[in-house]
Amino acid sequence: MRLHSLVSLAGLCAKLATADRQVFAHYIVGLTSGQTRDEWQLDISQAKASGIDGFALNVGAQDEYNDAQLDLAYDVASSNGFLLFLSFDMQASQWSADQIGSYINTYKGLSSQFKVNNLPVVSTFEGPSQADIWPGVRAATGDIFFVPDWASLGAAGVGDKLSLIDGAFNWGAWPEANQKTMSTGNDVAYKSVLQGKPYMMGVSPYFYTNLPGKNWYSSSDSLWFDRWKQVLDINPEYIEIITWNDFGESSYINAPISHQVVPGAETYVTGFDHTAFRFVLPYFISAYKAGNANVAVPSEGAVAWYRTTPATVCGDGGTVWGQGGSASAAGATQDVVSIIALTNAPTDINVKIGSGDGGQSVSATSTVGKASFYQVPVNGRTGAVTVTLNGKSTTGPEITNNCPSSGHVNFNAVTIQV
């Protein structure tokens, strides 16, 4: 074959690989007891409008409403050109090969089922100790495209089980204990051990949980910007946003839904809307699929996020810095307003806290393509937060020096869109 033909073929393969890129959001079906068709329709339509291609449906074996909710989800998704795949939660429940195979066979023929190589994509949340059941699942279903999350093994451990999988999903989407920013070391390690098999990269805006048995905050002051910038460096085959609706872990990008908030989490979730995180998704997803950040900005604007109380205004509630950490979460975060702006030209942003000043004009500290990141120190100020970009302003909830009613700092953030 002549050289120019080889070059053309290589270019075609690159285009095909880029065109096949998909973005999903992790969706906790275990929180949907009694959910209606209209509620599924709203979630799916909002996700699709944000550029998300589908949901990874996290299902636990213990939930008796799985059948009804999965039927609704797949039916609504099929009517909306939206993709779904099953992610079996093997950390919270014990699944048998027969149970898994039955669910896969029920939905694999539907138009909304996400497939690769004409095989239904299947994932997990953990479960490496049950790795030996998957050959039986393949036999019972006529084969699957298996992309599990076995992050507890680490990249090297996943590599040791390469013969059992078709790709891997990495749940590690947050800085580790005592780290303020996210690195790509784990992503690079996954891509290396997978030896060309697809990598599904986890991307998340935030993490804070204060529930029995789990109580930590992962540094999130710049995470949403950092992680999308890293996506463009890593170029994974797939992305899974963590999460659409895990309110108890503050990783959600949807508005809080009261009946989906687990008991105990309402103290740090109610009133803390994360919807504005979705504003930047159409741009970042477009850039990811194009393979570079030089894509059009769908709409100029910004998302800002901040905590409504200083990190040391009162006790930390026992919250530690990162999973497995021991230091106080108060050291994991700065009292700042963080902002991502999407603009066609570089611009400053004005941030006003309270009524005592005219605001502070700040320049970006980092950029990627047409996305710019800004941070403004609170410096002890209190009051409503107003963010202004190109003459357009939005005011968000007040920052106060009052300890929350829970008696300890709330490390969750509010978001606002300009």
User: Does position 153 have pLDDT exceeding 90, yes or no?
Assistant: yes
User: Residue 4: pLDDT above 60?
Assistant: no
Q: Tell me how far CA of residue 128 lies from CA of 104, 125, 167, in angstroms.
A: 19, 9, 14
Give the pLDDT band (50/70/90) at residue 233: very high
Partnered with residue 119 across adjacent β-strands are 116
- Per-residue pLDDT tens over the stretch 64-79: 999 999 999 999 999 9
Closest CA to 53 of 92, 80, 93, 14: 80
Say if residue 244's pLDDT is above 50: yes
For the domain with range 18-290, which CATH number is right: 1.10.3720.10, 1.20.1260.120, 3.40.140.10, 3.20.20.80?
3.20.20.80
Largest CA distance in the chain: 73
Task: Give residue limits of the domains in the chain.
Answer: 18-290, 301-417
DSSP string, 36-83: -HHHHHHHHHHHHHTT--EEEEEE-TT-TTHHHHHHHHHHHHHHTT-E
Closest CA to 100 of 54, 65, 55, 66: 66
Task: Give pLDDT tens digits for 91-142.
Answer: 989 999 999 999 999 999 999 999 999 999 999 999 999 999 999 999 999 9
Contact 158, 190 (CB under 8 A): yes
Render pLDDT for 196-232 as a digit per residue (tens, 0 to 9).
Answer: 999 999 999 999 999 999 999 999 999 999 999 999 9
Question: What burial class does residue 398 get, using C-beta atoms within 10 Å of its C-beta: 0-12 exposed, 13-18 middle, 19+ buried?
Answer: middle
Task: Provide the mean pLDDT of the chain.
Answer: 95
How high is the pLDDT of residue 358?
81
CA 133/CA 131 separation, integer angstroms: 6
Q: CA–CA separation, 341 vs 350, rounded Å?
A: 12
| Local structure of 28: helix, strand or coil | strand
d(CA 56, CA 27): 6
pLDDT 10s digits, 288-301: 999 999 999 999 99
Owner of token pair 């803390």: 272
Assign 20 a pLDDT band (cuts: 50, 70, 90). Answer: confident
pLDDT band at 356 (very low <50, low <70, confident <90, very high): confident
Indicate whether 3 pLDDT > 50.
Answer: no
**Residue recorded with tokens 């891997």:** 168
Asked if the model's pLDDT at residue 8 lies above 50, the reply is no
Q: Which two tokens stand for residue 92?
A: 């919270």
pLDDT at 200: 99
Give pLDDT, residue 84.
Answer: 99
**Strand, helix or coil for residue 340:** strand
C-beta separation of 116 from 198 below 8 A? yes
Pairing of strands 349-353, 383-389: antiparallel
Does the pLDDT value for residue 14 go beyond 50? no
Tokens 């502070």 appear where?
360
Tell me the average pLDDT across 19-47. Answer: 96
Whether the Cβ atoms of residue 319 and residue 415 lie closer than 8 Å to each other: no
Could you give the CA distance from residue 307 to residue 320 in angstroms, rounded to a whole number?
A: 17
Coil, strand or helix: which one is 29?
helix
Do β-strands 83-89 and 54-59 pair in parallel, antiparallel, or remain unpaired?
A: parallel
Nearest to 257 by CA among 25, 43, 57: 43
**Mean pLDDT throughout 140-166?**
98
The pLDDT-based confidence of 264 (bands split at 50, 70, 90) is very high
